[in-house]
Structure 1
């Protein structure tokens, strides 16, 4: 657990009597509620806000556990040294003017982090809003209000979003356990908070707003442990491709700036929210509701249109409409008016009073075929909004399945909405929001069933690849084409028969040795996508075909890529039939190797039917990666074809995963296509390319 939440004595460095100053607001927040001792530190005052003040922490006779810095950045280093020498365990540096400003500020931030490390002090910030622990009545922040006591822990990289969420939650009676403004994250980061929140007995749900992650793999490992204890709901901003580095492979161009985060969060058991309202919607539901046992949802409504919209949303969010048990269906059918619908969605009609709603809700709660309930109310002339809200309140705590309410409207529905908010029952403005939240509950129920296995180690010839890598880098050759063949062989990836030829005569000899028909491909370090440059000829059946193809290819390639260095051609065995796949990797700066699997060949960029996962992968993750593409049914034996043995595909993905983990100097990797033959078990890597990171060899 983080020491800052254990503090019994807190010093405010820069404490002030002047309203409007940060040092005044922080001191006031602490004095108002904190049961421990609060000590003002001010070099020019003997008393602040009626409390005895000291010029420095070291001058204070009490042992200080935590210090909150509210002073200009130029004084922070000296104060940090003083705190360290005085045995302070945690410092919250609210002060701005560090790396967010300029390079000199960044250097000062490094010195601050080093000082805190020297004295083994926790550092939150700098450039942060502070911290809150509602259960300890600790408000070490300059937020205008104290959070309501609750069980949602929230960390935010943005101080403004933190205060906005506190205000939003206060208006809706939503409580927090702990709140941390991370600021520049020179010390305490998202991993530290995640681990602390996971072990905090007062926290039931972990919510986060992040702009970047300091150590992706370490964060994933912590999340895999934390998500088994409590749900993690996270927003990651900065999801667009603007400013992302140019890449040359299909894998890199398809991956995009945000794909690694999407894949990593999914693998680590994190529920990702797209917006702040989603984050709070999900968090409130996790706080208040039991988890569903399955994905069968019942909708109770007093209007047809919203019921239809809700039904569509259920299906579109990977859930099913529950089929009521026949006895329950008959009970509703006999009790409801003839015009009502006893089938799901259960339409109790616009004139429904609370008793009719209550019958439908009780029936759905009792029915084992129903895993979750959407309770939808629209404002009709006879709708008893408050009495209908009360019937939900009466049943909510004892319910063994989630009930998500949609009191759909505005002014007329407000009294019911306020009643639900007062007791912490989730209510949503629109059906879609409630159903997306229900999906999040279902997703987390599945996460709890997921076993996070360690990646299996595949037997490979790693030393051979080390030797090959050294040779390439000694030659300053960072784009591997045909050189990739030996690397793939060392990792047990089967290759199609091939031979390089520098002239047309050598090409003929290679083809005759291999046996017709053959494929001819251009060999050039300057050409990534051979087909786009006219650098591939298929089904060459004799030496005349070879001569003709060679001559035309040279003309076409020079036309498309005039300055390309041509090293010759590659002659490959022509494979007939089968399916083409792509296995690739792009190295993400945060999470490392991001492996891609999908439909290969010329359709990669057109269909973009691919999926991604962060390596290293275990077999279960590799199988999920493969099965998650839209066209997976092709490999199950579509239109009478023999199904592919999925273990063959898993083996190939696992070997690529291990290769790119073993060799961090591989920046991009691609096999496209790898052909899976019609027997469903034989595979051949046909075209491959490896790009090395020059920085790895310039150290």
Structure 2
């Protein structure tokens, strides 16, 4: 792993492009470095001094340069590559390129960035940027940014692909007392990206939480593998912008049309063990509570308040979350009844009445936090003349430490509440004015607990017929088509996925011969690479008796040519009718995503798949546990488990099928979309009744 510590703890900082000109980036960098504990070395051929410091005409004039130095580049884009090469020649390994004008600015910029990458790779540089705001390490006072605001020191490290996000956050953090250890503006990520900093901060014992604003992930598989290791001990909270981006306007499969880019990110971030925030406020709410509070042992929480209204609002928020309201139990309720006034209802939410003083608050909290049925608590208070908010804050902090259970507070008021919040901060207890923010914070502690308890396992490797599968896919290349349908059902058979008995008929006589080998009525489907939706044009007949097979073959064939005169018709597939008792039609599919690779889908299938879109996604390869979780996440899961007296479906067979499809698309990346729909699930197993897939013929050909 690359060691990035030199970026955050340099002995000296060399600023190339330093200047004392008002309103310039070079001046802002020097002014922000005023808190740096080490030496600052300005470089500018047009200045002898800058802000009272000796200025050097070039890198080669700076004395005793070494790999322990950090170079910050703020020169015009046309000169950046040459300057970075000079930096490398001077044995500096850590570089921050502030300058814009690279891949974000057209063909010339992209070429310039490629040249920068080549220099960085040649000299093995740790390079941040270009087109970034810079970075901060509060421990050493290092601030090589041109942004305003100095965040206080803390145990949260923040990275962002948006420089504007960093610039906005710094001032906000200073105002609200949110402390950071490291802050990095990633810029164009020409060399170092979000994965490098996740790995670096994951090894940093003083970074308790990692926050990330992401617009894109270049290598999704690398992100998952790295973050999965880090999140075992350090929580990562991600806000991903662009959630509504369309995924597949011209998709040929159901999976392709449903699986947009955000489904891939949602699945990938989940499998990486990260917590996803849906807005900026949540990013910092989650970060603060994860950095300051222990995890919830269980999801049952208490609400303690001196005002009924806020308690009801909190209960509503809990009802909309994964958390539940704890049952105190008889013994705890009896203790509370003895302590509280008769008019107090000793149930949860617990309203200790508006005349509560500090002693009542303290004793109540002690009893409630001591209850085994309570995993954590939301404490709410409106100001009264009977106690001091700052004393209440101290009491909360003391009791939270004593019971070692997470507590979040809603001390609702003005200046008095602000002073109390400062005290709570010293205990790591976040304070919110709105209970709707407090409850998601507690829920984040439960979600991250699940991450730490999650057992990761390697995907199964099934014994499959690669030679047969490759031969079937090669036929697509031979026929110069990208779409394959039921003529490729043997591909599923090669991967051990049960399919109905049957075969491809190229004539009416062939169809009758195949049907004769099948006991009972058959299903007949048109086979044409040019007809994707067979049912829509009458290309599927179900329950055809043997005596009608030849006539049905002719009629299906005629409908196909009438519907699409120029279509290539390969024939008609004749297969066993699969209609077991208590069956459910599901879908297993896959779509190749540009960032994460193949995204595997499971859900309610058949003709309703795009109506209800009752689906779950994972990034391939998918393990047994992940596949099993997918079957539980859809709304139709009770149908599979045996709701309302139904016999439970063979979920083990479903889970195995999901894994086998995952292995198929992992083995053959040239498969761009795939649907097994319907996958008929019954108590006795599964049958893949239909198939459609698209392949990248050129990529497939290059693989042989």
Q: TM-score, normalization: structure 2? A: 0.94
Tell me if structure 2 keeps the 8 A contact 1:191–1:218: yes
Correspondence 1:12 to 2:3: no
Equivalences for residues 369-448 of structure 1 within 5 A: 369-378=373-382, 385-408=389-412, 413-421=417-425, 424-448=428-452
**Counterpart position of 2:160:** 156
Take 1:413 and 1:534, find their aligned partners in 2: how far apart are those partners? 70
**Counterpart position of 1:689:** 692
Correspondence 1:129 to 2:172: no
Indicate how the Cα distance of structure 1 residues 57 and 96 shifts in structure 2: closer, same or farther if over 3 A, else same. Answer: same
**Counterpart position of 1:574:** 577
**Of 607, 624, 631, which aligns to 1:619?**
624
Indicate how the Cα distance of structure 1 residues 309 and 233 shifts in structure 2: closer, same or farther if over 3 A, else same. Answer: same
Greater Cα shift, 500-509 or 661-670: 500-509
**Counterpart position of 2:370:** 366
**Counterpart position of 2:121:** 117
Indicate how the Cα distance of structure 1 residues 297 and 505 shifts in structure 2: closer, same or farther if over 3 A, else same. Answer: same
Indicate how the Cα distance of structure 1 residues 177 and 470 shifts in structure 2: closer, same or farther if over 3 A, else same. Answer: same
Greater Cα shift, 139-148 or 391-400: 391-400
Tell me if structure 2 keeps the 8 A contact 1:533–1:557: yes
Q: Secondary structure at the match of 2:200?
A: helix
Q: Secondary structure at the match of 2:526?
A: strand
Correspondence 1:52 to 2:57: no
Tell me if structure 1 keeps the 8 A contact 2:358–2:386: no
Take 2:53 and 2:445, find their aligned partners in 1: how far apart are those partners? 49
**Counterpart position of 2:652:** 647
Query: How much has 1:407 moved relative to structure 2?
Result: 2.6
**Counterpart position of 2:39:** 37
Take 1:592 and 1:637, find their aligned partners in 2: how far apart are those partners? 34
Take 1:237 and 1:244, find their aligned partners in 2: how far apart are those partners? 18
Correspondence 1:225 to 2:229: yes
Correspondence 1:598 to 2:603: yes
Tell me if structure 2 keeps the 8 A contact 1:134–1:176: yes
Indicate how the Cα distance of structure 1 residues 559 and 370 shifts in structure 2: closer, same or farther if over 3 A, else same. Answer: farther
Tell me if structure 2 keeps the 8 A contact 1:622–1:653: yes
Equivalences for residues 506-655 of structure 1 within 5 A: 506-544=510-548, 547=551, 549=552, 553=556, 564-577=567-580, 578-655=583-660
Indicate how the Cα distance of structure 1 residues 20 and 327 shifts in structure 2: closer, same or farther if over 3 A, else same. Answer: same
Tell me if structure 2 keeps the 8 A contact 1:172–1:421: no
**Of 189, 193, 198, which aligns to 1:189?**
193
**Counterpart position of 2:295:** 291
Take 2:565 and 2:613, find their aligned partners in 1: how far apart are those partners? 29
Query: How much has 1:316 moved relative to structure 2?
Result: 2.5
**Counterpart position of 1:658:** 663
Query: How much has 1:605 moved relative to structure 2?
Result: 1.4
**Counterpart position of 1:496:** 500
Greater Cα shift, 33-42 or 314-323: 314-323
Q: Secondary structure at the match of 1:61?
A: coil
Cα deviations by residue, 1:100-149 (Å, 9 ceiling, x for unpaired)? 11110110011011111111111100000111111122111112222211
Q: TM-score, normalization: structure 1? A: 0.95
Query: How much has 1:321 moved relative to structure 2?
Result: 1.3
Greater Cα shift, 408-417 or 652-661: 408-417
Tell me if structure 2 keeps the 8 A contact 1:351–1:383: no
**Counterpart position of 1:173:** 177
Tell me if structure 2 keeps the 8 A contact 1:116–1:122: yes
Query: How much has 1:213 moved relative to structure 2?
Result: 0.8
May I ask how many residue pairs the two structures share in their alignment?
695
**Of 453, 456, 463, which aligns to 2:460?**
456
Equivalences for residues 101-116 of structure 1 within 5 A: 101-116=105-120
**Counterpart position of 1:96:** 100
Greater Cα shift, 97-106 or 554-563: 554-563
CA-atom RMSD, angstroms? 2.2
Indicate how the Cα distance of structure 1 residues 637 and 74 shifts in structure 2: closer, same or farther if over 3 A, else same. Answer: same
Tell me if structure 1 keeps the 8 A contact 2:481–2:697: no
Indicate how the Cα distance of structure 1 residues 372 and 50 shifts in structure 2: closer, same or farther if over 3 A, else same. Answer: same
Tell me if structure 2 keeps the 8 A contact 1:417–1:427: yes
Greater Cα shift, 64-73 or 410-419: 410-419
Cα deviations by residue, 1:298-356 (Å, 9 ceiling, x for unpaired)? 11123333323322322322222111132211111222222222111111123333333
Take 1:433 and 1:141, find their aligned partners in 2: how far apart are those partners? 31
Query: How much has 1:504 moved relative to structure 2?
Result: 4.2
Q: Secondary structure at the match of 1:298?
A: strand
Take 1:534 and 1:411, find their aligned partners in 2: how far apart are those partners? 72
Cα deviations by residue, 1:261-290 (Å, 9 ceiling, x for unpaired)? 101111111001111110000000011111
Indicate how the Cα distance of structure 1 residues 544 and 152 shifts in structure 2: closer, same or farther if over 3 A, else same. Answer: same
Indicate how the Cα distance of structure 1 residues 298 and 18 shifts in structure 2: closer, same or farther if over 3 A, else same. Answer: same
Tell me if structure 1 keeps the 8 A contact 2:148–2:170: no
Greater Cα shift, 519-528 or 338-347: 519-528
Q: Secondary structure at the match of 1:514?
A: coil
Take 1:453 and 1:255, find their aligned partners in 2: how far apart are those partners? 25
Greater Cα shift, 417-426 or 283-292: 417-426
Q: Secondary structure at the match of 2:252?
A: coil
Equivalences for residues 297-376 of structure 1 within 5 A: 297-376=301-380
Q: Secondary structure at the match of 1:364?
A: helix
Indicate how the Cα distance of structure 1 residues 545 and 656 shifts in structure 2: closer, same or farther if over 3 A, else same. Answer: closer
Query: How much has 1:658 moved relative to structure 2?
Result: 0.8
Tell me if structure 1 keeps the 8 A contact 2:578–2:687: no
Gaps of 5+ in 2: none
Gaps of 5+ in 1: none
